[in-house]
Structure 1
Amino acid sequence: MIRILLLLVFTGSLSFAQSYTSTIRGTVKDADTGIPLVNASIQLSPAGLGIGSNAEGIFRFDRIPVGRYVLTVSYLGYETITIPEILLESGKESIQEIRLNPAGRQLDEATVVSSAGHVAFNSIQAITIEQTLRYAATYLDPARVATSFAGVATTNDQANGLVIRGNSPNSMQWRLEGVEIVNPNHLSNAGTFSDRATQTGGGVNILSTQLLGTTYFLTGAFPAQYGNALSGVLDMNLRKGNDEKTEFVAQVGLIGLDIAAEGPFSKKSKASYLANYRYSFTGLLGAIGVDFGGESINFQDFSFNINLPTAKAGTFTFFGLGGNSSNTFSPDKDTTAWEFQKDGYNIIYKNKMGAAGATHAISLGKRSALNSTVVASGLSTSRYAYTVNKENFEDRKLFESDKMAKSKISASSIITHKYSSEFRLKGGVYGTWQFDEITRPGDLGLISNSIKGFIFQPFASLTYYISPVLTAEVGVHYLHYTTTRSNSYEPRGALRWQVSKSGQFSFSYGRHSQLQLPQVYLSGSDAFAFNRKIHPTKSTQFVVGYQKKFRKSSSLKVEVYSQELYQVPVSASSQSSFSAINLVETYIDQNLVNNGTGNNYGVEGTYQKLLTDQFYILLSGSLYSSKYVGSDGIRRDSRFNGGHTFSFTGGKEFKNRKESTWGINTKILWIGGFRDTPIDFEASSQSNSTVYLNDQAFTLKMRDYFRPDLRIYWKKSKAKFSRTLALDIQNISGTKNDAYSYYDTYQKKVVRQNQLGMIPVVSYRWEF
Structure 2
Amino acid sequence: MKKCLQWSILYLIFIIPFTSKAQSNDRFTINGYVREKGSGELLPGVSVYVKNKKIGIQTNNYGFYSLTLNTSEEITIVYSFVGYRSETKTLKVPKKLEMNIELTPDIQELKEIIVRGNSPEQQKVSENVQMSQVSVPIQQIKEIPALLGEKDVLKVLQLMPGVQKGSEGNSGIYVRGGGADQNLLILDDAPVYNASHLFGFFSVFNGDALKSVELTKGGFPARFGGRLSSVIEMQMKEGNREKLHVEGGIGLISSRLLVESPIGKNKKSSFLISGRRTYIDALVRPFINKKDGDGGYYFYDLNAKVNYDFGQNNKLYLSGYFGKDVFFGIDKQTDGTQNEFGLDWGNQTATLRWNHLYNERLFMNSSFIFSNYQFKIYAVDQSLQQNKKVEYELSYLSNIRDVGFKTDFDYLPNPQHSIKFGFSGTFHQFSPSSIVVKDDVISKYQNNVENIDATESGIYAEDTYKPFDRLKINAGLRLSSFVTNKVKYFNPEPRVAMAYSARNDLAFKASFATMNQYIHLLSNSGASLPTDLWVPSTDKLPAQRSRQFAMGMAKDFDEKNLALTVEGYYKEMDNIVAYKEGSSSLLQDGPEELAKEKEQGKSWDDQVTSGKGRSYGAEILLQRKVGKLTGWIGYTLSWTKHQFDELNFGKEFWAKNDRRHDLSVVGVYHLSPRITLSGTWVYGTGNALTIPTASYSANVHNPGISPFGIPGSTGYTYNYFREYPDYGERNNFRAEAYHRLDIGVQFHKIMKKGHERTWEFSIYNLYNRKNPYFYSFTNTYNNATQTTTRNLTRYSLLGIIPSLSYSFKF
Same fold (TM over 0.5): yes
Deviation at 1:47, TM superposition (A): 11
Alignment TM-score, normalising by the size of structure 2: 0.71
Q: Within 5 A, what are the aligned runs for 1:282-681?
A: 282=280, 296-311=296-311, 313-327=313-327, 348-383=342-377, 402-439=396-433, 448-483=449-484, 484-517=487-520, 519=522, 531-550=538-557, 551-569=559-577, 591=606, 596-612=611-627, 614-631=628-645, 632-655=649-672, 660-679=673-692
User: Which residue number in structure 1 is paired with residue 713 of structure 2?
Assistant: none
Unaligned runs of 5+ residues in structure 2 are 1-36, 49-57, 68-74, 91-96, 288-293, 334-338, 382-390, 438-443, 524-534, 590-602, 701-706, 710-721, 782-789
Deviation at 1:480, TM superposition (A): 1.1
**Is the alpha carbon distance of 1:47 and 1:158 closer, same or farther for their aligned partners in structure 2, counting shifts above 3 Å?**
closer
- For 2:306 and 2:278, how far apart are their aligned partners in 1? 25
- For 2:725 and 2:340, how far apart are their aligned partners in 1? 26
Q: For the Cα contact (< 8 Å) 2:482–2:488, is it kept in 1?
A: yes
Counterpart secondary structure, 1:132: helix
Q: Does 1:722 align with 2:737?
A: no
Deviation at 1:515, TM superposition (A): 2.0
Q: For the Cα contact (< 8 Å) 2:397–2:435, is it kept in 1?
A: no
Alignment TM-score, normalising by the size of structure 1: 0.75
Deviation at 1:693, TM superposition (A): 5.6
Q: Over residues 17-48 of structure 1, what are the superposed CA-to-partner deviations in whole Å (9 max), with x where a residue is unaligned? A: xxxxx969877776369257797435899999
Q: For the Cα contact (< 8 Å) 2:82–2:625, is it kept in 1?
A: no
- For 1:677 and 1:584, how far apart are their aligned partners in 2? 22
Deviates most, 49-58 or 591-600: 49-58
User: Which residue number in structure 2 is paired with residue 222 of structure 1?
Assistant: 220
Deviation at 1:490, TM superposition (A): 1.0
Counterpart secondary structure, 1:228: coil
- For 2:223 and 2:586, how far apart are their aligned partners in 1? 26
Q: For the Cα contact (< 8 Å) 1:743–1:751, is it kept in 2?
A: yes
Q: Within 5 A, what are the aligned runs for 1:158-197?
A: 158-187=169-198, 190=199
Q: Does 1:80 align with 2:121?
A: yes
- For 2:607 and 2:521, how far apart are their aligned partners in 1? 13
* Coordinate RMSD, CA, aligned: 4.4
**Is the alpha carbon distance of 1:284 and 1:248 closer, same or farther for their aligned partners in structure 2, counting shifts above 3 Å?**
same
Counterpart secondary structure, 2:158: helix
- For 1:683 and 1:486, how far apart are their aligned partners in 2? 50
- For 2:363 and 2:804, how far apart are their aligned partners in 1? 46
2:78 alignment partner, one of 41, 46, 55: 41
**Match for 1:621: what amino acid?**
Y
Deviates most, 490-499 or 160-169: 160-169
Q: Over residues 722-744 of structure 1, what are the superposed CA-to-partner deviations in whole Å (9 max), with x where a residue is unaligned? A: 11100232222322222234689
Counterpart secondary structure, 1:143: helix
Deviation at 1:616, TM superposition (A): 2.1
**Is the alpha carbon distance of 1:742 and 1:449 closer, same or farther for their aligned partners in structure 2, counting shifts above 3 Å?**
farther
Counterpart secondary structure, 1:436: strand
- For 2:489 and 2:182, how far apart are their aligned partners in 1? 18
Unaligned runs of 5+ residues in structure 1 are 1-21, 83-105, 111-118, 191-201, 334-344, 388-396, 521-527
Q: Over residues 556-605 of structure 1, what are the superposed CA-to-partner deviations in whole Å (9 max), with x where a residue is unaligned? A: 2111000011233467xxxx77999xx99988967378762110000111
Q: Over residues 69-95 of structure 1, what are the superposed CA-to-partner deviations in whole Å (9 max), with x where a residue is unaligned? A: 467897xxxx9327xxxxxxxxxxxxx
- For 2:259 and 2:209, how far apart are their aligned partners in 1? 10
1:121 alignment partner, one of 125, 130, 134: 130
Q: For the Cα contact (< 8 Å) 1:355–1:378, is it kept in 2?
A: yes
**Match for 1:546: what amino acid?**
M
User: Which residue number in structure 1 is paired with residue 772 of structure 2?
Assistant: 738
**Match for 1:173: what amino acid?**
L
- For 1:56 and 1:329, how far apart are their aligned partners in 2? 59
1:713 alignment partner, one of 739, 746, 751: 746
Q: For the Cα contact (< 8 Å) 1:577–1:694, is it kept in 2?
A: no
**Is the alpha carbon distance of 1:298 and 1:65 closer, same or farther for their aligned partners in structure 2, counting shifts above 3 Å?**
closer
User: Which residue number in structure 2 is paired with residue 4 of structure 1?
Assistant: none
Deviation at 1:760, TM superposition (A): 2.6
Counterpart secondary structure, 2:211: coil
Deviation at 1:759, TM superposition (A): 2.9
- For 2:82 and 2:521, how far apart are their aligned partners in 1? 52
**Match for 1:34: what amino acid?**
F
Counterpart secondary structure, 2:635: strand
Deviates most, 697-706 or 464-473: 697-706
- For 1:206 and 1:499, how far apart are their aligned partners in 2? 42
Counterpart secondary structure, 1:158: coil
Deviation at 1:131, TM superposition (A): 1.6
Q: For the Cα contact (< 8 Å) 2:378–2:394, is it kept in 1?
A: yes
Deviates most, 446-455 or 272-281: 446-455
**Match for 1:210: what amino acid?**
D
- For 1:762 and 1:634, how far apart are their aligned partners in 2? 50
**Is the alpha carbon distance of 1:676 and 1:501 closer, same or farther for their aligned partners in structure 2, counting shifts above 3 Å?**
same
Counterpart secondary structure, 1:144: helix
Q: Over residues 435-456 of structure 1, what are the superposed CA-to-partner deviations in whole Å (9 max), with x where a residue is unaligned? A: 2213378999996433221111
Counterpart secondary structure, 2:373: strand
- For 2:247 and 2:679, how far apart are their aligned partners in 1? 25
User: Which residue number in structure 1 is paired with residue 34 of structure 2?
Assistant: none
Deviation at 1:264, TM superposition (A): 0.9
**Match for 1:511: what amino acid?**
T
**Match for 2:139: what amino acid?**
E
Q: For the Cα contact (< 8 Å) 1:617–1:649, is it kept in 2?
A: yes
Deviation at 1:210, TM superposition (A): 1.4
Q: For the Cα contact (< 8 Å) 1:246–1:263, is it kept in 2?
A: yes
**Is the alpha carbon distance of 1:305 and 1:518 closer, same or farther for their aligned partners in structure 2, counting shifts above 3 Å?**
same
Say how many residue pairs are matched.
654
- For 2:85 and 2:366, how far apart are their aligned partners in 1? 40
Deviation at 1:499, TM superposition (A): 0.8
Q: For the Cα contact (< 8 Å) 2:395–2:436, is it kept in 1?
A: no
- For 2:735 and 2:394, how far apart are their aligned partners in 1? 29
